[in-house]
Chain A
Amino acid sequence: MAVTCRLQPEPFSPPAELEAFMAGRTEDGAVVSFTGLARGKAHSGMVVEALVLDHYAGMTERSIEEIAEAGAGRFEVSDVLVVHRHGAIAPGEAIVFVATASRHRGEAFACADYLMDRLKTEAAFWKREEGQGASRWIEPSPTDLKRRARWSE
């Protein structure tokens, strides 16, 4: 099993990541991927020029790796990939990409769901929306916390 995590400031291509993740995969019957995109409009209606993810070098990487390893240990998956951006992200660009592979789809779906719920609430990032001369911190919503709590049951 391979658990691969990358943290980078540069944009990346989710289709290219998925293609590489799927290449040569003959033993698995399922690959599930999720891509989180930066939105151009906030819930308040504010036009967002950039989503900025602050990170803490060393601690952020460790938090992502711990989550990915936990997902790989909890579900019957063959491989896990997490790619996460930091810094300023333009609307439409990918923030995060998660891919999981397994023999059957259930475990791949569940693992990807688990990884995203934990990344949203436990990866060491601080996210804010910037636009129209304003900046607003984004913190996990009650829904995010409720989704995360499912995995503690």
Chain B
Amino acid sequence: MVAVKLSILLFGRVSDTLGPRIEAMIPEEGCTVGELRRLIFQQVGSDALQQKGVRASVDKLVAGDEAFVRPGAEVAFFSVFSGG
């Protein structure tokens, strides 16, 4: 499998554990958000992104675990929103 590097942004409580940005290697053909969570767990050794309530966005649109991530996409994981 050829792997490519993907930079991932983190916001909210989840950034306490992993910092504001991490990098992960993903298949060059891409993967789903759910697969990306598992890859990060394997590569970073933290299950912070697998905790309940941690959501994702792809290219700044909130995305479920079934959403597809292509190399070069802008991916973020974040804890629950709290505005106002």
Query: Which residues from chain A sit less than 8 Å from chain B, CB to CB?
Result: 36, 53-54, 56, 58-59, 62-64, 84, 95-96, 116, 119-127, 137-140
Contacts and interface: CB of A to CB of B under 8 A. Distances in A.
Nearest to A98: B84
A125 B57 contact: no
B32 interface: no
A120 B78 contact: no
B79 A125 contact: no
Contacts of A54: 11-12
A53 B83 contact: yes
Contacts of A64: 83
Given A58-B60, A59-B60, A127 B83 contact: yes
Given A62-B60, A126-B11, A126-B12, A56 B78 contact: yes
A52 B16 CA distance: 14
Contact of B60 (A56, A96, A119, A125): A56
Interface of B: 9, 11-13, 15-16, 57, 60-62, 76, 78-84
A139 B60 contact: no
Contacts of B11: 54, 56, 126
Q: Does more than half of chain A's interface fall in helix, strand or loop, or is it mixed?
A: mixed
Nearest to B82: A127
Most buried by A among B61, B79, B84: B84
Those 10 A-B pairs whose CB atoms lie nearest each other, nearest first: A123-B83, A126-B12, A120-B84, A125-B83, A119-B84, A59-B60, A127-B82, A58-B60, A119-B83, A137-B13
Contact of A122 (B16, B61, B83): B83
Q: Which of A119, A122, A124, A138 has the most chain B CB within a 10 Å cutoff?
A: A124
A62 B12 CA distance: 18
Given A54-B11, A56-B9, A138 B84 contact: no
Nearest to B12: A126
A116 B83 CA distance: 9
A126 B81 contact: yes
